[in-house]
Structure 1
């Protein structure tokens, strides 16, 4: 079942009600969108999620491509948003989930281990890149593959991409993703076989990869737990979907953002309080104003923060479907 709003028909707070006739919901879409609260069932939740997406993406402007679903007990999930969902676009750092998937697939097959060392040379460090490797200044050194993946998926370290390329070259990485059913989620090879740009995906494939991850069909149980643990960690991306939330609420969300040029993307999963997946999202945006702003005040990032708070409130009374993934217990430390 698909519940869809035409985003371009929703021209702001006063006109989101226009979408209500498309949704066929009992409550006007404008009221649901502006008053975040728990939906009574999955159908209502999907309609409210659609209205909130239509409202916020329109307010932010630019171009949006998205795919969002809501779990529906034992039935197939409801498609709340399908906005150009099969458009193949530059995914930027959202594709770091796909890179990690390929590396962990090799771990699952016994070809790599998280404990093995990878060399960090001065030539492999991305100058001025996002993350922490470019801040070190003490090379050559070495780190474990697990450490590289942790930096790849939490602080979105650009040098960590190159470290993954040392153990999983571009051609092999792309073939792993094709074999797993993601032919449009591919890195872009360059002359050096161990280097690549992060490449493309579609909203639907980014969404489906996450769905396969939480279902346990993408990787082994241990690799699934490792990957979700990174995406749900307190140091994972907090400017978008997770921004207006408590630490406990943030722990219920596994997310990865990607930003480059004027693009601001994010994909992830919202879990219920027990740890079952309820809502899966892939939100891709570009062309908004303030293209040089990579902070939390960018229009598309602000829009995702508002969506996130509303999405969580909307699904808060629902029970997820499938495997349970409880977050790791995090305890702040004062040293010692």
Structure 2
């Protein structure tokens, strides 16, 4: 694994220190993955210092051979509560069972009033029409786009906590684990580390944890227009947002986000796992939270900084997005 540093503490150039997007640095930063990584390390130091609180992160840029050039390694092996970022891991385990023929995306799941999380994030708590049923594919779409909490319980109906954890361990992710409760089909979203979340994302892109069809399904959800837009993707065009697969997680004072930036051809060029807690505004779950603002500035910087790099590995292009006016 090549390392550009975590260049934390390095004096930031004037453009970065001014609080701008860093676009002034793009031409120089984009010449090699190592230089891009060094610039991202400077931006990370600036933004996390500005936001305050605690940060644990791992960010890498992909070189021409597919190896990660590490830009940020900030306490990357700290095992912590991942909150909804771990919904990526939940979906991975469920889709592993789809790949093995034990489940199908079109099978139906019963949605009872008892399984709906009252007031939780997502859509299931809004429609006030239970009992009903949805397909497993629908539940996973809600899980990864609008971060639906009831979709976690629906996933548990087909992949109990103990089995889910065993699947993740077998795939090489022993620290990315849900927390079982008395009901075997329910769980808290559990823990991960920045490094392990980063490696799960890289493994997904590489196609080593799921079948090609399941990989494209999962990445397509994380790249969809309705996926999280307050953080990394906040100040991007719709075309740029489609090049980012991302998942955020929030609870209490924690504001996390992890994902992948793809080049215009669909090859992964940067992977990030950013975990933050302890900032001001514990009751602010919107775009004005200091950690979310920091991620938005970092997202813009990382998109700019990698603009001239070419990713490596199998390309992953999202499906066409065709706006509709009804009819």
Query: Normalising by the residue count of structure 1, what TM-score does the alignment of the two structures yield?
Result: 0.93
Pick aligned residue for 2:94 from 74, 87, 103: 103
Contact 1:234 1:250 in 2 (8 A): yes
Q: Aligned residue for 1:135?
A: 126
Pick aligned residue for 1:56 from 25, 41, 47: 47
Pick aligned residue for 2:12 from 3, 11, 16: 16
1:261-292 Cα distance to aligned partner (Å, 9 max, x none): 00000000000000000000000000000111
Contact 1:50 1:81 in 2 (8 A): yes
Deviation of the 1:77 alpha carbon = 1.4
Contact 2:4 2:70 in 1 (8 A): yes
Aligned pairs for 1:200-211 (under 5 A) are 200-211=191-202
Deviation of the 1:311 alpha carbon = 0.1
Contact 2:62 2:270 in 1 (8 A): yes
Deviation of the 1:5 alpha carbon = 3.6
**Quick one: distance in 2 between partners of 1:219 and 1:189?**
24
Pick aligned residue for 1:259 from 250, 261, 281: 250
Contact 1:275 1:324 in 2 (8 A): yes
Contact 2:85 2:249 in 1 (8 A): yes
Alpha-carbon spacing, 1:75–1:329, altered in 2? closer, same or farther (3 Å) = closer
Unaligned runs of 5+ in 1: 18-26
Count of aligned pairs between the two proteins: 322
Pick aligned residue for 2:56 from 59, 62, 65: 65
Q: Aligned residue for 1:4?
A: 5
**Quick one: distance in 2 between partners of 1:255 and 1:75?**
20
**Quick one: distance in 2 between partners of 1:213 and 1:181?**
12
**Quick one: distance in 1 between partners of 2:267 and 2:32?**
16
**Quick one: distance in 1 between partners of 2:20 and 2:274?**
18
Alpha-carbon spacing, 1:141–1:63, altered in 2? closer, same or farther (3 Å) = same
How much is the aligned-residue C-alpha RMSD, in angstroms?
1.6
Q: Aligned residue for 1:20?
A: none
Q: Aligned residue for 1:317?
A: 308
What SS does the corresponding residue of 2:114 show, helix, strand or coil?
A: coil
**Quick one: distance in 2 between partners of 1:116 and 1:150?**
14
Matched, 1:167 2:158: yes
Contact 1:56 1:307 in 2 (8 A): yes
Query: Normalising by the residue count of structure 2, what TM-score does the alignment of the two structures yield?
Result: 0.96
Pick aligned residue for 2:143 from 137, 144, 152: 152
**Quick one: distance in 1 between partners of 2:264 and 2:4?**
25
Q: Aligned residue for 2:36?
A: 45
**Quick one: distance in 1 between partners of 2:18 and 2:199?**
30
**Quick one: distance in 2 between partners of 1:75 and 1:119?**
43
Deviation of the 1:30 alpha carbon = 5.1
Q: Aligned residue for 1:194?
A: 185
Deviation of the 1:174 alpha carbon = 0.1
What SS does the corresponding residue of 2:147 show, helix, strand or coil?
A: coil
What SS does the corresponding residue of 2:314 show, helix, strand or coil?
A: strand
**Quick one: distance in 2 between partners of 1:34 and 1:231?**
24
**Quick one: distance in 2 between partners of 1:33 and 1:283?**
20
What SS does the corresponding residue of 2:293 show, helix, strand or coil?
A: helix
1:99-158 Cα distance to aligned partner (Å, 9 max, x none): 000000000000000000000000000000000000011100000000000000000000
